[in-house]
């Protein structure tokens, strides 16, 4: 197991190098430039030339890449945002906790409903519950996130007024302390229960909208996995030995069916941590997705390069955790070599 983890970590080096090369040349293939995007109508040739001189955009592209790698590897510095003039690493520290909280809330919603729904549908195969779960999961996959997000805002925020529709916390809460930028954790650590309730209310609608597609996928994969596992020989043998249905389902059916479900959960978690651009845009949620969206509009090269490179690292690490979790779920799996 240890050799497997070390080998996967060493593979990060060529992966991140390849991502950095693709990113560097991709962002510079976008039409326009940071200077023209930020200056707008004031973009005179002299001002554009001054901006390019300031940020080194007038140098040959290979020299720009060498300089970028030197600062990134040697100084562990992802650069300075062209739009905000702040360190990219500082903005990641501020934005990424928001995305983590939103992604975890969405996955908690998806897993807590998707696995039981898929399991019950498989146990009631061919019945109304099974057909209903297939119908709902098809709707969940088909409906665009931004459409669902707008409907949720209209129903629960505008019409009913139960939940807030934008932001991460109420603007009138001035005295809340955020030492870690994880608002839920900070409210628990400071025992600020009113702020905790407000933060949770701001999380509900975007988490439901973001978790709709993972919920549908997890439910369908769970249903398919349970249908396959419950017909295996070891399950029939356990039932023939007189084990109670609950023990058979828990120890033999569900535990083995969770392997493909774990893969899906890991992939979906990595995707959600990569930034939910549409969800964060509709709910004005200050996470990585809205940050990268603004960077694309502003042609903010350092933000795009540093932000996407960081998210690539997160995605690979999440998948590593999923691979290691296989051995925890099923002890028969061992990694060798």
- 190: helix, strand or coil: coil
Q: Is residue 34 part of a domain?
A: no
pLDDT score of 101: 92
Structure tokens at 108: 């908690």
Cα distance between residue 129 and residue 119, in whole Å: 11
pLDDT score of 34: 65
Q: From the centroid of its chain, how far is CA 57?
A: 32
pLDDT score of 105: 93
Q: What interhelical angle do 301-329 and 255-273 show, nearest 10?
A: 170
Q: Is residue 169 part of a domain?
A: yes
For the chain, 337 residues long, give each residue's pLDDT as a single digit of tens: 677 677 777 877 888 888 888 888 877 776 766 666 666 666 667 777 777 777 667 777 777 787 777 777 766 777 778 778 888 888 888 889 999 999 999 999 999 998 888 888 888 887 888 888 888 888 888 888 888 899 999 999 988 889 998 888 888 777 778 888 888 898 898 888 888 999 999 999 999 999 888 898 998 888 888 888 877 777 777 777 777 777 777 777 777 787 788 888 888 887 787 667 888 888 988 888 888 888 888 778 888 888 888 888 888 888 778 777 766 666 565 555 4
pLDDT score of 102: 92
Contact, 250 vs 72, CB < 8 A? no
Cross-strand bridge partners of residue 80: 87
Q: Is residue 105 part of a domain?
A: yes
Contact, 39 vs 15, CB < 8 A? no
Please tell me the total count of domains within the chain: 1
Contacts of 27 (CB under 8 A, 6+ apart): 299, 301, 304, 305
End-to-end CA distance of the chain: 9
CA neighbor of 153 nearest in space, from 111, 202, 104, 103: 202
CA neighbor of 239 nearest in space, from 221, 253, 226: 253
pLDDT score of 223: 87
Domain that includes residue 287, residue range: 88-329
Q: Is residue 94 part of a domain?
A: yes
Q: Is residue 37 part of a domain?
A: no
Q: Is residue 9 part of a domain?
A: no
CA neighbor of 214 nearest in space, from 317, 115, 320: 115
pLDDT score of 127: 82
Q: Is residue 42 part of a domain?
A: no
Residue 80 φ/ψ, nearest 5 degrees: -120, 135
Q: Is residue 31 part of a domain?
A: no
Report the CATH number that the domain containing residue 295 is assigned in CATH: 1.10.3720.10
Cα distance between residue 201 and residue 198, in whole Å: 5
């Amino acid at each position: 197991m240890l050799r497997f983890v070390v080998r996967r970590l060493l593979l990060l080096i060529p992966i991140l190098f390849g991502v950095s090369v693709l990113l560097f040349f991709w962002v510079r293939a976008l039409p326009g430039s940071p200077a023209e995007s930020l200056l707008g109508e004031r973009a005179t040739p002299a001002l554009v030339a001054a901006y390019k001189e300031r940020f080194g955009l007038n140098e040959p592209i290979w020299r720009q890449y060498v300089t970028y790698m030197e600062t990134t590897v040697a100084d562990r510095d992802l650069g300075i945002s062209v739009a905000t003039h702040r360190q990219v690493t500082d903005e990641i520290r501020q934005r990424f906790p928001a995305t983590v909280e939103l992604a975890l809330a969405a996955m908690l919603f998806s897993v807590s409903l998707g696995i039981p729904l898929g399991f019950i549908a498989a146990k009631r195969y061919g019945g109304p519950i099974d057909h209903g779960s297939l119908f709902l999961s098809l709707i969940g996959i088909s409906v665009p996130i931004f459409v669902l997000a707008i409907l949720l805002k209209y129903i629960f925020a505008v019409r009913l007024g139960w939940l807030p529709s934008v932001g991460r916390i109420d603007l009138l809460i001035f005295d809340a302390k955020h030492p870690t930028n994880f608002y839920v954790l900070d409210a628990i650590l400071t025992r600020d229960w009113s702020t905790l309730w407000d933060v949770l209310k701001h999380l509900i609608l975007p988490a439901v909208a973001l978790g709709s597609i993972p919920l549908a996928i997890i439910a369908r994969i769970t249903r398919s996995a349970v249908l396959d596992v419950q017909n295996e020989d070891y399950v029939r043998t356990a039932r023939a030995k007189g084990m109670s249905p609950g023990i058979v389902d828990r120890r033999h059916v569900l535990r083995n069916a969770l392997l493909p479900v774990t893969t899906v959960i890991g992939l979906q978690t990595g995707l959600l941590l990569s930034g939910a651009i549409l969800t964060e845009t509709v709910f004005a949620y200050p996470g990585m997705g809205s940050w990268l969206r603004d960077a694309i509009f502003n042609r903010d090269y350092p933000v795009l390069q540093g932000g996407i490179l960081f998210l690539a690292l997160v995605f690979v690490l999440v998948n590593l955790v999923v691979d290691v979790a296989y051995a925890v779920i099923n002890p028969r799996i061992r990694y060798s070599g």
